[in-house]
Structure 1
Amino acid sequence: MARKKSKVIPLLPLRGLLVFPTMVLHLDVGREKSIQALERAMVNDHLILLTSQKDVEVEDPELDDLYEMGTVARVKQLLKLPNGTFRVLVEGISRGKILKCLEDDTCYMVQVEQFVDDIEHDMELEALRRTMLEYFEQYIKLSKKLSADIYTSIMDIDEAGRMADIIASHLPLKLEEKQQLLEAVNVKERVHKMIEILHNEKEILNLEKRISQRVKQSMDRMQKEYYLREQMKAIQKELGEKEGKAGEVEALKEKIEQVGMPEHVKATALKELERYEKIPVSSAESSVIRNYLDWLIALPWTKQTEDIHDIHRAEKILNEEHYGLEKVKERVLEYLAVQQLTKSLKGPILCLVGPPGVGKTSLARSIAKSLNRNFVRISLGGVRDESEIRGHRRTYVGALPGRIIQGMKKAGTINPVFLLDEIDKMSSDFRGDPSAALLEVLDPEQNHSFSDHYIEEPYDLSKVMFIATANTLATIPGPLLDRMEVITIAGYTEVEKLHIAKEHLLPKQMREHGLQKGMLQVRDEALMQIIRYYTREAGVRNLERQLAAICRKAAKIIVSEGRKRVIVTEKNVSEFLGKPKYHYGQAEREDQIGVATGLAYTTAGGDTLAIEVSLAPGKGKLILTGQLGDVMKESAQAAFSYIRSRAKELNIDPEFHEKNDIHIHVPEGAVPKDGPSAGITIATALISALTGRPVSRHVGMTGEITLRGRVLPIGGVKEKTLSAHRAGLKKVILPKENEKDLEEIPDVVKKNLQFVLVSHLDEVLEHALVGEKR
C-alpha cells in the first residue's frame, strides 16, 4: 500500500504531457499563471504539482479541465529565455491528488495528498516485476525506436512500482493510458496494467513485423520474376525465337486461322493484325485494334449445337415446365417437325404477347432446352439508342459492339435461342430509333448479313431462333411487328392456375424454404380461395408470393411449435394470409328489373359487371356514371337511340324520353371502364327498366350493339366466359361471329354453361327477359 501525506503547493498545468515519479525532464513554460506558480515554488520548498490538461486546446484551464491525479515534482532549475518564456528542469517525486483549490489570484495553490510507494518484499510482487521486465526486454528486441541501453539501465531496479513508472515513460502510449497508470496508486495494480500494455504493444509490433515481411517477400518475388523474364528474353533471342509483340502476333494469327471465319472476314482480320504488328505498343490505336481482333476471334462463326429433332421429348419438356399455353407449344412442335423434314428451315421469329407473370421468358428458356440450343437473353426495356443494337463506330472512345453481337458472343454458337425481352418498351430520341435497327435483325431475308458498326463485317443471324416478348402490341412499330409471328398468351384460367400452383409453384417454394415433402399440405379448396380472394392477375407471380408467405408461416410453426405437418384448408387460409384482399362478381340472388349482368375483360382476366338503370320523372336527361370511357358512353347512347326507334315494337311508351330522366350506372365507380362490348347489356337493362320485365339472374352477356340492333363481335371471350362460370351464371349470350372463339374455352367450363349465339338484340331479349311486366 502507498503511504499518504498532505501539503499545500502551487499547480502547473501541462498540455499533452505527463510526468511520472522519478522522471527528470525540461519544460518550456509561457502562460502567466504557470510562471507565477514556478516563482512561488522557488520561494518555498521548490515543490510543485504537475497535472495534465484533459483538452490540450484550452488556453486558460480551470480546475475541472485538469486531471485530479498528477505528480509532485521538485523544480531543479529555472532559466528565463530571450523570448520571455521560462525553461524549467523538474524531477518527479511522487503521485499527488488534488484535494481542494485555495483562493489565489496569481496562480493555483492546491492542497495535495501525496502517495509514496511502500517498499514491500512480496513474492507475488517480485514475480510480477520479473514478468514485466521480461516483457519489456521482448518489446525492446522487436521495437526499432528503443535502444538496449534502456533495458540495461532499469534491469537492476528492485522496486516494481518505480520500474513500471520508468517503463511507462519510455513507451509511445496515449496520454489517457499514461494517466491510468499514474492513477494506479496500488503497486500491484499498476504492474498488472503495465504487463497488459506491454503484451498488447508486443502483439502490435509482431503484427507490424509480419506485414513488413510479407511486403518484402512480395517485392523480392517481383524482382525475381523480372530477372527471370529478362533471362528468358535473352535465351529466346539466342535461340532465334520471336519475343514480345512478335510472339503475341503469332498467337493471334493462329487463333484467326483456327476460329473458322469466312474468307472476307479473315482477310480483314489479317490486315488489321498486320497494322497491329507495325504500331508501337504505347500508341492508343494499338489497344483499339487489339480489342477489335479479340472480338472477331471470340465470336462464333461456325460452331453450333446439334438440334435434337425429337418431338416427343420436346413435348414432354414443355409440358413438364409449363401448364396450359397450348398454342405456343403447338407452334414450337410444328417448327421442330418442319425442320426435321427440311433440315434447313430458317429460324422463326416468334413474339409472345401477354401480361406480366404469364411465363413468357421462362417459356423461351424451355424452348431452348427442348431444342438442345444455347439460350441468351437481352432486355430491351428503356433502350433508346440505335448504337445499343448496331454498336458504336470503332473511332469512338470505349466503343463496343451492339447487344446482338454481344449476345452472340455470350451464346458461343451460331444457332442459339435469342430472347429479345420487353421489345415493346423501347423508345427513340435524337440518338436514333433502336426499333428501326431491329428491322434488319428480325427480317429473315436480311439477317444472314447483319452489319454491326463495330464489327463492320456481315454476320449471319439466319440460324438464330429469335423470340420476342411484349406486354402489349400497341407500342410496337408496325414494320417491326410485321416481321414477327405474334402468339398471344392472354393469361391463365383459375383451373390452370390451380394446376400450376400444385405442380410447379408450391413444390418450388417448399424447396426454397427448406420444407420436406409432407411437411406442408395445401388443399385444392384453399388454393382456389387464394387464387380468387388474394390475387388479381393474369399471370401467377402474386400467387407464387402468397404461396411463399404460406411456406414462411409454416416453417415458423414447424420450428417454434415442433409440429411435423401443417395443413392449409379453406377455413384457415386467413390465419396464414390475413383477410381476403379482393372479391369477384357473383350472380344476383333474384331476377331484377333494370339490372343486367355484363361480362368484362380486365388485365387480370375476366369479371362480371352489373349494369343498373333507374327511371325518375324528368325531362329526358340521360345520366351516365361509373367512370365510363368515351366508347362505353357511345354504346349507351347507341342503345338509347335504338330503343327510341323501336319503342312501339318493344311495348314501351314512345314518349318515355320526354317524361323520364334515365340514369345508367356501372358500380365500382373508382375503376375506369371502357369498350363497346357492354352495348347489349346496357340495352337489355334499359328495356327491362322501361317495360318492367325482370332480367334473368342466371344470364350474362357481352356484345356491341348498332343503331339497327345488330350484335357485333367482341374480344376476350375466353376470359369473360371464365368469369361467368366463376360467378355462378348458367347462360352466356355471345355474338354469333364469336362462335370461332368457343374452341379456346376449357371443357370443364363448357359443361356448366349454356352458350347462346345471337346476331340481333331481339334474340338477346328472348333469353334475357323473363316473366311478365310487374
Structure 2
Amino acid sequence: MSDLEQVKLMPTVTLRGMSILPDMVIHFDVSRKKSIKAVEKAMLGDQKIFLVTQIDVNENEPEMEDLYNIGCIAIIKQVIKLPNNILRVLVEGEGRGQLIEVVEEEEYIIAKVLEFKEDIGMQIPDNNRTAMVRNLKEVFLLYSNENYKIGKELTKQILENDELQKLVDQIVINFSLPFEEKQKLLSAVSLQERYELLSILLNNETEILKIKKELQVKIKDKVDKNQREYLLREQQKLIREELGEESLETEADLYMEKLKSVKASKEVKEKIEKEIKRFKNTSSSLSENAVVRGYLETLLEMPWNKTSKDNTDLKYAKKILNDDHYGLEQVKERILEFLAVRILTNKGQSPIICLVGPPGTGKTSIAKSVAKALGKEYVRISLGGVRDEAEIRGHRRTYIGAMPGRIAGGLKSAGVKNPLMLLDEIDKVSSDYKGDTSAALLEVLDSEQNNKFRDHYIELPLDLSEVLFIATANSLQTIPKPLLDRMEIIQVTSYTENEKEHIAKEHLVIKQLKKHGLTTNQLTISDKALSSMIRYYTKEAGVRSLERKIGEICRKTARQILEKNKKSVKITQVNLEKFLGKPQFSYDMANENDEVGIVRGLAWTSVGGDTLQIEVNVMPGKGELQLTGQLGDVMKESARAGISYIRSMSEKYNIKDSFFKENDIHIHIPEGAVPKDGPSAGITMATAMISAVTKTPVRADVAMTGEITLRGRVLPIGGLKEKILAAKNANIKTVLVPDKNRKDLDEISEEIKKDLEIIYVDNMERVLQEALTNHAHEIMQKKADK
C-alpha cells in the first residue's frame, strides 16, 4: 500500500439519485433506519462518513453489488431532525474512497474503505499543467457563455484559480450534470483522467446548449408567425362579423375539427380539407355555399374506414334463423354454408345472394335475421320502380338538388363500411332515357370491381367489397342476364298449409297480439280456426294475407273487450265467420264424375300454385281452332302443337281424315278475366282435345302438367312444388309429372307428397294411358289395333 492510500472502517450511507464529490458542500435527507443509525454513529465519532451511490435508485436494501465501488469520504457539518423520522444532513466532501467490503449490516452499514489521498505529488510536467489549465479555462468560458445559469461572478471566481486540481474540482462542483456523469468524474481517481473526462463533458454540454439555443430561435420564429396569423384571422373575423358572415368561420372550424376524428385515407382527407378551405372563402350569400356545405357534411359522415366487428358464432346464427323462421330448411342450410365460408375466409368478397320466391314468403325477414346473426348493421334499399341510373350512382354536383346514390346513402345511414345491404325487389328495376339502372348495379354487385365504386356525387372511390349484399326478387324472368350472372340464386318456395299454421302459431299471432295491445289470456285462436283461415280466407304462397286476417281478429277483439267489458275472447271454427265474414276462397275441387273434354291442369302464379280446368268442345265447322280465356302466346303455341300431334296420330286414334276439315275445336280456360301464359299446359290441352275428338272420358281425379312437342314428347316444367300443393288442396289423387322433373320432386318434402300418387310421364301415350278411364282407353286401343 502506498503513502497515498489507507484502509479504514467507516459508517456508510447509500445515496439514491445523487453523487457527492470532494470539496462539495451539500445537504441530503435520510429516512432509512440503517442510514440514520450510520449518521448517528459518525456523529459520536470523528464525524466522518462514507457516502456511496446506488446503481439502482429503486433498491431499498442494496447489497454490495448494487453499489458503485468509488464513493466520497465526507465530514458531517450539521444534522437537523425533520418530521416523520427524517434527518437532514449537511456534509462537505473530503476525498475519494474505494468500497472494499461491507463488514456489518445489523443496525447500520459499516464498510471497509480504501482512502485515496489527494494526488498533489502526481508527476505532471509544468508545461503540461499550464496547457491543461489554459485549455480547461477556455472550454469552461465557452460553456459559461452558453449556460446563463452560471453567473459572471462565479465564472470569474473559478477562472482566477491557476492550480489544476482545484480548478478541476471547482468546475465539477458547479457543473450541472446527471448523477451518473458525476459518478464517472468521482470514479476518475487520477487527475489526468479526471481532466480528460471533464473536458469531453464540457465540450459536449456546450454543443448541446448551442443546438438548444438554435432550436429555441426557430421555435420563436414559428410562434411569431403563428401569432401574426392569429392576429390576421382575428381581423378577418371582425370583417366577416361586420358583413354578417361570421358563421362561416365557425362552421369551417367545426368541419376541420370533425375531420381530425374521421378515419380515412390520405387522399380522402386531402379532398375534404380542400373543400373546407373552399367553403371558408365563399360568401354566405352565394348559392354555391349551400352546395359545398351539403357536400362537406356528406363526406364527413361517410364511414370511410370505419367497420363493425362481425359475430363468428355459427351456432348462434343457426339459432337466430330457427327462432325467426319456421320451415325453409334448404334456404337456412344454404345461408349457414354461406356464413361458414365467410367466417373462415374472413373476407367480404363473396357471392351476392339473391333470394327468389313469391311475395310474403319471408325473403326480407331472412335478410334481417342474417344481419342479426352476424351482428351487422342492416340497410334496406328498395329498388322497386327505380328508373333513373342516378338513383344508384348519384347525381353530379353540377345539378341543382344533387344527392348521393342509394348505395352511398345506405353506407352513410349504416355508419360502417361493412353493413348488410338488402337490395329489395331487384327484379323490378327498369330502364328509360335516363339510363339503365340494372347496368349501374353491375359494378355494385361485382366483387372484383366494387372496391373502387365511384358515386357521381361523392367523386371519391367507395370500398363496397366488405358490404354483404343480399337481393330479393319475385321472379328471375325480368332480371337481365349479366346482373343475374353476378348473383347466387336461392329459391324460397311457397309454404304448405301445415307450415303456415306453425308460422301463425309461433310468430304471427304473438306479433299481432303485441301490436294491438292484447295478451294471450285476452285472445286465443284454436288450431282448427287457424286452418280454416289459411284454407278459406287466404290464397297465397306466403303469409302476408294471413297476418292481416289475424290483425283483423285482434282489432275486433280489442273493441269487444272495451265496449262489452269481455275478459277474454276465443276464436273457434264455429265463430270465425262472425269475425272475418263469409269465406272468401273455395278450392276448385276435383270433379266427381269422369267427363269428356275436361282435364285438370296445374299452373304456377306469383302467389303460389293453382289448378285450371281446360275445356274442349268439338262442333261442325270449317276446321278452325278457337282459343279463349285470355291465353298468352306460349299457351296458344302449345295448343297448336297439341292439335298438330293429334292430326299426325289420327290414324292410330281412328280419327277420320276429314274430321279436322269439317269440325271446329274450341279450347277454353275459365276465369277469362285472368291472363294466363306458360308452357306447362301443353299435355293438358292435348289430352282434352283427344278426349273431345274421340268422345273418350277423362279421369276426374287426375291432374297434369308438362310441355308437349310435335312428336308427343313431354318436356320438363318449373314451379313443381307450388303445383303439387295446388293439386293436394283440390283433393286430386293422381298427378302426372314430366319424367325429367324427377330430381325436382326429390327435393319436395314428404309432407307435401303424402296421399298423392305421382306418375312420371315422358310421352303422350303414357299420359293418355293414365288420364283416360281404363275402360275408355281399352276401347281406344282396340279401335287403333283394328
Q: TM-score range by the shorter chain?
A: 0.5 to 0.7
State the shift of 1:743 in Å. Answer: 3.0
1:544 aligns with 2:547: yes
Gaps of 5+ in 1: 1-235
State the TM-score, normalizing by the size of structure 1: 0.65
Partner of 1:734: 737
Distance in 1, Cα, partners of 2:231 & 2:685: 95
Partner of 2:296: 293
Distance in 2, Cα, partners of 1:760 & 1:341: 49
Partner of 2:447: 444
Quick one: which amino acid aligns to residue 527 of structure 2?
D
Name which one, 1 or 2, has greater alpha-carbon Rg: 2
Q: 1:570 aligns with which of 558, 573, 588?
A: 573
Quick one: which amino acid aligns to residue 614 of structure 2?
I
Distance in 2, Cα, partners of 1:313 & 1:653: 71
Cα 1:249–1:744 change in 2 (3 A) is same
Are 2:597 and 2:692, in contact at CA under 8 Å, matched by a contact in 1?
Answer: yes
Quick one: which amino acid aligns to residue 386 of structure 1?
E
Q: Deviation digits for residues 602-627 of structure 1, max 9, x if unmatched?
A: 22211122222333455544333333
Give 3-state SS (helix, strand or coil) of 1:662's partner: strand
State the shift of 1:247 in Å. Answer: 6.4
1:407 aligns with 2:410: yes
State the shift of 1:261 in Å. Answer: 0.8
Cα 1:716–1:271 change in 2 (3 A) is same
Map 1:172-251 onto structure 2 (within 5 A).
249=252, 251=254
Are 2:474 and 2:606, in contact at CA under 8 Å, matched by a contact in 1?
Answer: no
State the shift of 1:298 in Å. Answer: 1.3
State the shift of 1:692 in Å. Answer: 4.0
1:605 aligns with 2:585: no
Quick one: which amino acid aligns to residue 384 of structure 2?
G
Q: 2:362 aligns with which of 355, 359, 364?
A: 359
Cα 1:249–1:565 change in 2 (3 A) is closer
Are 2:359 and 2:606, in contact at CA under 8 Å, matched by a contact in 1?
Answer: no
Quick one: which amino acid aligns to residue 533 of structure 2?
I
Cα 1:427–1:238 change in 2 (3 A) is closer
Q: 1:508 aligns with which of 511, 519, 530?
A: 511
State the shift of 1:285 in Å. Answer: 4.3
Distance in 2, Cα, partners of 1:395 & 1:637: 58
Give 3-state SS (helix, strand or coil) of 1:772's partner: helix
Are 1:694 and 1:771, in contact at CA under 8 Å, matched by a contact in 2?
Answer: no
Partner of 1:588: 591
1:372 aligns with 2:371: no
Q: 2:650 aligns with which of 626, 647, 651?
A: 647
Comparing 715-724 with 571-580, greater Cα deviation is found at 571-580
Q: 1:559 aligns with which of 562, 565, 582?
A: 562
Distance in 2, Cα, partners of 1:439 & 1:280: 41
Are 1:357 and 1:541, in contact at CA under 8 Å, matched by a contact in 2?
Answer: yes
Are 1:703 and 1:734, in contact at CA under 8 Å, matched by a contact in 2?
Answer: yes
Q: 1:763 aligns with which of 746, 766, 783?
A: 766
State the shift of 1:246 in Å. Answer: 6.2
Distance in 2, Cα, partners of 1:328 & 1:242: 65
Partner of 1:342: 345
Give 3-state SS (helix, strand or coil) of 1:636's partner: helix
Are 1:348 and 1:465, in contact at CA under 8 Å, matched by a contact in 2?
Answer: no
Partner of 1:252: 255
Are 2:524 and 2:569, in contact at CA under 8 Å, matched by a contact in 1?
Answer: yes
Comparing 605-614 with 714-723, greater Cα deviation is found at 605-614
Partner of 2:104: none
State the shift of 1:345 in Å. Answer: 4.3
State the shift of 1:733 in Å. Answer: 0.7
Quick one: which amino acid aligns to residue 689 of structure 1?
A
Distance in 1, Cα, partners of 2:612 & 2:232: 92
State the shift of 1:537 in Å. Answer: 2.3
Distance in 1, Cα, partners of 2:401 & 2:763: 67
**Cα RMSD over matched residues?**
2.8
Partner of 1:496: 499
Distance in 1, Cα, partners of 2:233 & 2:426: 59
State the shift of 1:753 in Å. Answer: 1.0
1:463 aligns with 2:463: no
Distance in 1, Cα, partners of 2:233 & 2:676: 85
Give 3-state SS (helix, strand or coil) of 1:752's partner: coil
Partner of 1:152: none
Distance in 2, Cα, partners of 1:354 & 1:522: 29
Are 2:342 and 2:350, in contact at CA under 8 Å, matched by a contact in 1?
Answer: no
Give 3-state SS (helix, strand or coil) of 1:467's partner: strand
Distance in 1, Cα, partners of 2:407 & 2:658: 68
State the shift of 1:598 in Å. Answer: 1.3
Cα 1:757–1:279 change in 2 (3 A) is same
Partner of 2:59: none
State the shift of 1:437 in Å. Answer: 2.4
State the shift of 1:449 in Å. Answer: 0.8
State the shift of 1:702 in Å. Answer: 0.7
Cα 1:433–1:625 change in 2 (3 A) is closer
State the shift of 1:635 in Å. Answer: 1.9
Distance in 2, Cα, partners of 1:562 & 1:238: 78
Distance in 2, Cα, partners of 1:239 & 1:455: 31
State the shift of 1:397 in Å. Answer: 4.0
Cα 1:282–1:629 change in 2 (3 A) is closer
Quick one: which amino acid aligns to residue 433 of structure 1?
D
State the TM-score, normalizing by the size of structure 2: 0.64
Are 2:697 and 2:773, in contact at CA under 8 Å, matched by a contact in 1?
Answer: yes
State the shift of 1:417 in Å. Answer: 0.6
Q: Deviation digits for residues 222-276 of structure 1, max 9, x if unmatched?
A: xxxxxxxxxxxxxx98999997766655553343233221121122223333444
Distance in 2, Cα, partners of 1:678 & 1:494: 25
Distance in 2, Cα, partners of 1:636 & 1:395: 57
Give 3-state SS (helix, strand or coil) of 1:378's partner: strand
Which stretches of structure 1, 4 residues or longer, exceed 6 Å deviation after superposition? 236-247
Give 3-state SS (helix, strand or coil) of 1:468's partner: strand
Percent of aligned positions with the same letter in both sequences? Answer: 57
Q: How many corresponding residue pairs?
A: 539
Partner of 1:689: 692
Cα 1:642–1:290 change in 2 (3 A) is closer
Distance in 1, Cα, partners of 2:492 & 2:739: 24
1:433 aligns with 2:433: no
1:264 aligns with 2:296: no
Cα 1:662–1:270 change in 2 (3 A) is closer
Partner of 2:86: none
Are 1:584 and 1:727, in contact at CA under 8 Å, matched by a contact in 2?
Answer: yes
Q: Deviation digits for residues 122-174 of structure 1, max 9, x if unmatched?
A: xxxxxxxxxxxxxxxxxxxxxxxxxxxxxxxxxxxxxxxxxxxxxxxxxxxxx
Q: 2:678 aligns with which of 652, 675, 684?
A: 675
Distance in 2, Cα, partners of 1:619 & 1:393: 65
